Amino acid sequence: MNTKKGLTFKQIVAIEPRLGDLLKEAQSFHETAKGYPNFCANEHFYGYGSQPGMSLKHRVVALVGWMSPRPELQTRQAYDEAYNTIYDALPDCRGKCACRVVQDAIFGICDTAYKITRS
């Protein structure tokens, strides 16, 4: 991905291989979610309903960015590159995902607003 000058995801993984494992985990949902009508990328990335500390994002934050134990990965650019690469590897939301359930609850209050967001 790497839209700005700085480390590519491949370079970041060379420094912190566990980020490569997180990318593979995100990519694995394409296979494991097959056949299921509902999938929420945000649920898996942010950890809705999962045990605290087990979300993909929580694990990304521990490895890259300000919290990284590796000084060369303590940059916003490295964090953004890893975050976006791993998030983008997840399948798209579909069916009655958590995002849509929340959106329906918020916008369902006002039918007009709901119809605007759905068009």
Residue 78 lies in a domain: yes
Overall size of the chain counted in residues: 119
Structure confidence at residue 2 as a pLDDT band (50, 70, 90): very low
Residue 77 lies in a domain: yes
Residue 100 lies in a domain: no
pTM metric for this prediction: 0.79
Q: Is the dihedral of CA 58, 61, 67, 68 positive or negative?
A: positive
Residue 102 lies in a domain: no
Q: Per-residue pLDDT tens for 90-106?
A: 999 888 887 777 777 77
Give the pLDDT confidence score for residue 118 in this predicted structure. Answer: 44
Residue 63 lies in a domain: yes
Structure confidence at residue 109 as a pLDDT band (50, 70, 90): low
For 65, the domain range is 9-94
Residue 62 lies in a domain: yes
Exposed/middle/buried for 32, CB within 10 Å: 0-12, 13-18, 19+?
A: exposed
Query: Which of the pair, 54 or 78, is modelled with greater confidence?
Result: 78
